[in-house]
Amino acid sequence: MSQDLDLPTYEDVEEAAGIIKGVANRTPMQTSRFLDSQLGVNVFVKCENFQRTGAFKFRGGYNSLSHLTPKERDQGVITCSSGNHAQGIALSSRLLGMKATIIMPQDAPELKVNATKGYGGNVIFYDRYTESRETIAEDIQAKTGAHFIPPYNDKYVIAGQGTVGKELIEDVIDGGHGPLDYLFVCVGGSGLISGCALAAEKLAPGCKVIGVEPEAGDDAKQSLEKGEIVRIETPQTIADGAQTQRIGDVTFEIMKKKVEKIITVTDEQLVDELRFFGERMKLFVEPTGCLGLAGLRKLVDSGEVPANSNCGVIVSGGNVDVRKYCELLG
Burial (CB < 10 A; 0-12, 13-18, 19+), residue 213, is buried
Whether 290 contacts 256, CB under 8 Å: no
Whether 166 contacts 201, CB under 8 Å: no
Whether 83 contacts 108, CB under 8 Å: yes
Active site (annotated) includes residue 57: yes
Q: Dihedrals φ, ψ of 206, to 5°?
A: -90, 0
d(CA 307, CA 310): 9
| Catalytic position from the list 32, 46, 57, 64 | 57
Q: Dihedrals φ, ψ of 116, to 5°?
A: -60, -45
Q: 267-280 and 291-301 helices cross at what angle (nearest 10)?
A: 100
d(CA 107, CA 73): 30
Active site (annotated) includes residue 82: yes
Whether 187 contacts 193, CB under 8 Å: yes
| Catalytic position from the list 32, 64, 66, 82 | 82
Give catalytic residues, as residue numbers. 57, 82
